[in-house]
Chain A
Amino acid sequence: MADQLRQFLLRGGFLMVDDFHGTLEWNVFLRSMNKVFPDRKIVDLDNKDPIFHVVYDLDDRVQVPGWQWSISGKTYEYDGFDPKWRGIYDDQGRVMVAICHNMDLGDAWEWSDDPRYPEKWAGLAYRIAVNYVMYDLTH
């Protein structure tokens, strides 16, 4: 499986990872990702990276919580207090794995029509998605 994912990514595929929180889940992800790319580092994405500017300029990003916010009132889960915008680059400097740690963009899209879920997060989640998809289509 890891080999197949590696092949997919190296041929030009794009992977966006989302909705995992805190140290424990990060470690689980890291173990899996190390099987895919044992020799590639996961790095924090710079604000200047084209992935944040391809359609929308997303210099000001905030933590986008999941639907649990409407119950808990917390924007984080477990010990995932700060949103992490990370990625893995290929040899040509293109992001091939975009990692959205300590946030839940999927929930933001899913519950964007729920009046209890704030528009500011749903809107940001959509803009991030548009940028990521457009980045994939152009890089």
Chain B
Amino acid sequence: MFEFLFKYPAAVFSKGTFVLLSGWPMWVLGAGLLAAAAGLAWLIWRPGEARTPGAGPGDGMGRRMGGWRAAFVWLMQTAMAALLLFLLWHPALSVATLKPQQNIVAVVVDDSGSMALTDENGSSRKDAALHVLNSSLVKELQGKFQVRLYRMSDHLERIEKLEQVTAQGSATHIGESLKQVVEDANSLPIGAVVLLSDGADNSGGIDLDTIADIRRQRIPVHTIGFGKEKMAHDVEITDVEVPPRALPESRLAAMVHLHQRGYAGQKVKINVKEGNKILSSQEVTLKPDGVEQVEQVLFSAGPAGVKTIQAYIDPLPNEENLRNNSVTQLVSVDDRKPRILYFEGEPRWEFKFLKRAVEDDKTIRLTTDLRTTPDKLYRQLSDQDANTALVDGFPTKVQELFDYDALILGSVDQAYLKPEQQQLIHEFVDRRGGGLLLLGGRDSLADGGYSKSGLNDLLPTTLPEVKSKTYVIDAADVELTAAGRESLITRIEENPDKNVERWKKLPYLMNFQDPGPPKAGATVLAVSIPKGGGGRKVNLLITQPYGRGRTAIFATAGSWRWQMLQPVADMSHEIFYRQLLRWLVSDTPKRVTGSTPHPMISDDSHVKLRAEVRDSTYLPSGEATVEAHILGPDGITETVDMRPEPLEQGVYVADWTTPKAGAYTVEISAKHGKDDLGADTLTFRREDGIAENFHTEQNRDLLEKLSSETGGRYYRPDEAGKLSKDISYSEAGITVRETRDLWDMPVIFLLIVALRAAEWTARRKWGVI
């Protein structure tokens, strides 16, 4: 219809430039328009003539019709005059068109596994694409251009015949494939790209650089989309987030991202397993169709080692794609024993019971130093401490304190710590990345003068400036906040709701301390509610990240009642302190810390390695020699030199291509001259044949966006016939600029007829012919 009315395809109008070919000045057109409008107005409203029935046009008709009727007639006649004047100026479109037989059209067919899905009226997406090409499109294109066939999966490959498209590619990388086409266009006159795909890209989309490259070359990418845009019945786990590293026997949270179609409101069980051993299960209710939901499933990290954790949902009745019901991730459970220094200012029950709570935790090494008298300290060393450790009291040297992963300060007046020791603690958190926990007490927080100390900056709260004591010996109940409900630190019971109730039923605290309001970025996990306080809530457990480390306040010295007032078998007190202390140390980095953004690589061979290297005082080491020793399946070994990252001091990176699927172990070692700075081990795993099972619905948004950004157009398979006409209009390749007359468009004729008919009909109705 469009082409019938406007003579040319829509592409001519979208790509063409409007021009007037007459060569007469534009001001003449404007003046003519004004003159015509004025002349017609004079004719319609000219003065001095009597109202004579049957008088003709221009005979004082305005007077006879009066008001808006005359204005309507004037408007119709002026529009008519304007249209005729406009046509005299010879309007046209100037459009670039591809020169016949001198340009190449690249036809790219998606050859990835998802194209094998049979959701195109009983046939596969691949067959539907081949049908579109074979039925007429290729022939029509070959009539005008040279056609180059490509198949696309995780790379682009030129093919001679369409039979070479098998839909067995392991991944879809549209962006990278188009980049290769653009590279070809540097030496070949590629005028346009036709992409036949379901758009199910699994490389994270098409990056802006690729789009910019295509736009620079002015190559329009026309896309034809295949596959259902929405599945009827499917549950898909889209992602599973687990911490890449953990301490042995830690409680971990797997954040399972999923969505579904056709099963809204239904209950399903999310299982987390390692090998054949189910670690945890959780029943969830599915949200409405297409809505992304995130569920937290807790599980134990177990003993040290690399764990392959799989989250999965059992198949539901009539589910269309069963291969997207599970996602696998790696967790490296480190065989390390973080060290914590607990410095306590006075003998008290909280000290004793904190120690007892974590004594059975074989992962944590707790060293304590207790002031038994003003000038006497009682050291209780762990098996990793030297006998000489802490003989002079609280550490005064960097290496001495930085040997620990976390520090707990009990009821210690800040004046006891010298300014240089306070500075050391600051550096310990900020630079070394250690954890700092401050406990409540009569010499703690505001009552210990910390608001005026060098440590104030580290605290997660703004300590109150009050003259009265903030440490109150009075009973107080405890309650979790919304953040505490979700936190793993406070998770005594696995079920979040039951956990909230469990905290409410804990024996009351013997005392509490007001730590003040949380700073920006801090999180309040629990509050104490003084008995008889009228429901007033006082922040109890507050955490925050600080620099490379983290800090927390537990504003009481009375949680020992959770141990003494509950049965021996009750582990609430132990679990809480172990989780709090594990949180304090679990992310404390070593001097050399290796990482990779994706420990589990699906259908991709590229891996990025990153190492953060610090010297003995944990300052970034920018002149180190860093090597990654890679050990892979079937005896693969390789040593890769890591290069310094220009913008991040002490950071070294390397890109490596995995030769085959399997598990890889990387030992990253760093040296500075002859000094050994340390080493770290990380693991990653490459799995093939996975990526194409996910995001299998047609990603029409991506295809449409790709087309519109590059000057192409998105087509449904049944519209593909239009493509061979539209494709000629391109500014890439070898083009010729053509002008297309507009004066003889049928729509112009119809407009003239409509203007005249409208005026005639109106005048007839009013009896003024």
Chain A residues with a Cβ under 8 A of chain B = 7-8, 10-13, 54-55, 92, 134, 136-139
Contact B563 A11 (CB under 8 A): yes
Contact B568 A138 (CB under 8 A): no
- Residues from chain A with a CB closer than 8 A to the CB of B355 are 138-139
**In the complex, B634 has a CB within 8 A of chain A:** no
B375 CB to nearest A CB, Å: 12
Name 15 extra pairs, CB < 8 A, besides A12-B352, A137-B348, A139-B356.
Answer: A11-B563, A11-B564, A11-B568, A12-B353, A12-B563, A13-B564, A54-B372, A54-B378, A55-B372, A55-B373, A92-B356, A92-B359, A137-B349, A137-B351, A139-B355
Chain B residues with a Cβ under 8 A of chain A = 347-349, 351-353, 355-356, 359-360, 368, 370, 372-373, 376, 378, 380, 560, 563-564, 566-568
- Residues from chain A with a CB closer than 8 A to the CB of B360 are 92
Report Cα–Cα, A13/B360, bound state, in Å.
18
Chief secondary structure at chain A's binding surface: helix
A134 CB to nearest B CB, Å: 6
Report Cα–Cα, A139/B372, bound state, in Å.
14
Contact A55 B376 (CB under 8 A): yes
Report Cα–Cα, A55/B347, bound state, in Å.
12
Report Cα–Cα, A13/B353, bound state, in Å.
10
Contact A138 B356 (CB under 8 A): no
Chief secondary structure at chain B's binding surface: mixed
Contact B347 A7 (CB under 8 A): no
Contact (A138, B378) CB under 8 Å given A92-B359, A92-B360: yes
Residue of A nearest to B376 (CB): A55
What are 27 A-to-B residue pairs whose CB atoms are below 8 Å? A7-B567, A8-B564, A10-B568, A11-B564, A11-B566, A11-B568, A12-B352, A12-B353, A12-B356, A12-B563, A12-B564, A54-B378, A55-B372, A55-B373, A55-B376, A92-B360, A134-B347, A137-B348, A137-B349, A137-B351, A138-B352, A138-B355, A138-B368, A138-B370, A138-B378, A139-B355, A139-B356
Q: Which 5 A-B pairs have the closest CB atoms?
A: A137-B347, A10-B568, A11-B564, A137-B352, A11-B568
Report Cα–Cα, A134/B360, bound state, in Å.
21
A58 CB to nearest B CB, Å: 15
Report Cα–Cα, A139/B356, bound state, in Å.
7
- Residues from chain A with a CB closer than 8 A to the CB of B348 are 137
Report Cα–Cα, A115/B378, bound state, in Å.
34
Report Cα–Cα, A11/B568, bound state, in Å.
5
Contact B378 A134 (CB under 8 A): yes
B303 CB to nearest A CB, Å: 21
Report Cα–Cα, A54/B372, bound state, in Å.
9
Report Cα–Cα, A138/B369, bound state, in Å.
10
- Residues from chain A with a CB closer than 8 A to the CB of B352 are 12, 136-139
- Residues from chain B with a CB closer than 8 A to the CB of A54 are 372, 378
Which of A7, A8, A138, A139 gathers most chain B CB within 10 Å? A138
Contact B564 A138 (CB under 8 A): no
- Residues from chain B with a CB closer than 8 A to the CB of A11 are 563-564, 566, 568
A126 CB to nearest B CB, Å: 14
Q: Per a CB cutoff under 8 Å, which of B372, B564, B567, B568 touches A134?
A: B372
- Residues from chain A with a CB closer than 8 A to the CB of B356 are 12, 92, 139
Q: Per a CB cutoff under 8 Å, which of A10, A12, A92, A138 touches B380?
A: A138
Residue of A nearest to B347 (CB): A137
A129 CB to nearest B CB, Å: 13
Residue of A nearest to B348 (CB): A137
- Residues from chain B with a CB closer than 8 A to the CB of A8 are 564
- Residues from chain B with a CB closer than 8 A to the CB of A137 are 347-349, 351-352
- Residues from chain A with a CB closer than 8 A to the CB of B351 are 137-138
A113 CB to nearest B CB, Å: 23
Residue of B nearest to A13 (CB): B564
A36 CB to nearest B CB, Å: 13
